[in-house]
Amino acid sequence: MPPPSAHPCLDLALLPGNYFVLKLNPDEPIPDYAQRAMISQPAKGMFSLTRTEEETSIVGEAVDGMPDEVGNLATWRCLKIKGPMEFNLVGVLASFTEPLMKAEIGVFAISTWNTDFILVPKEKAELAVKALKKDGWKFPAESD
């Protein structure tokens, strides 16, 4: 399913670096390194902290100073829709993930006010980019 619009806000980027996904029990404290990453690291890439009654999920780029166990979880790459998108633009996430489903690439999706992020296994990142390009998504920062 191609992008629901040709608007440049739906252009994509494969962010640099490797990303980790960490799951904690909801009653566990937020680790110090995650708090430091939220407060003191430059705002680049993507970092997400989500707590529900069932779990706490922490997702971000693995950077120096994080424990080895976090680095060992950095098995993902992050695709970002440029954004910002209007809330009345429908079907974006479905359109974004369908070519990945067809290519049999598992995803971890995160949405923010402005945009959507999709994490894919790092060994399938190139395949994900190819599948999305074939479907009509654009990566303007790259030369085709």
Q: Show me where the domains of the chain are located.
A: 1-17+76-139, 19-74
Sorting pLDDT into bands at 50, 70 and 90, what band is 43?
low
For residues 115 and 11, the answer to whether their CB atoms sit within 8 Å is no
Higher pLDDT, 47 or 5: 47
Best CA proximity match to 83, nearest among 116, 50, 60: 116
Contact of 136 with 104, CB cutoff 8 Å: no
What average pLDDT does the segment 53-64 reach?
A: 91
Is residue 26 within 8 A of residue 51, CB to CB? The reply is yes
The average pLDDT across 103-111 equals 96
On whether the CB atoms of residues 108 and 59 are closer than 8 A, the answer is yes
Position 142 scores a pLDDT of 65
Q: Rounded to whole angstroms, how far apart are CA atoms 104 and 62?
A: 25
Count of CA atoms in the C-beta half-sphere (13 A) of 19: 29
- The reported pTM is 0.89
Structural domain 1-17+76-139, CATH architecture = 2-Layer Sandwich (3.30)
Q: What pLDDT, on the 0 to 100 scale, is given for residue 144?
A: 45
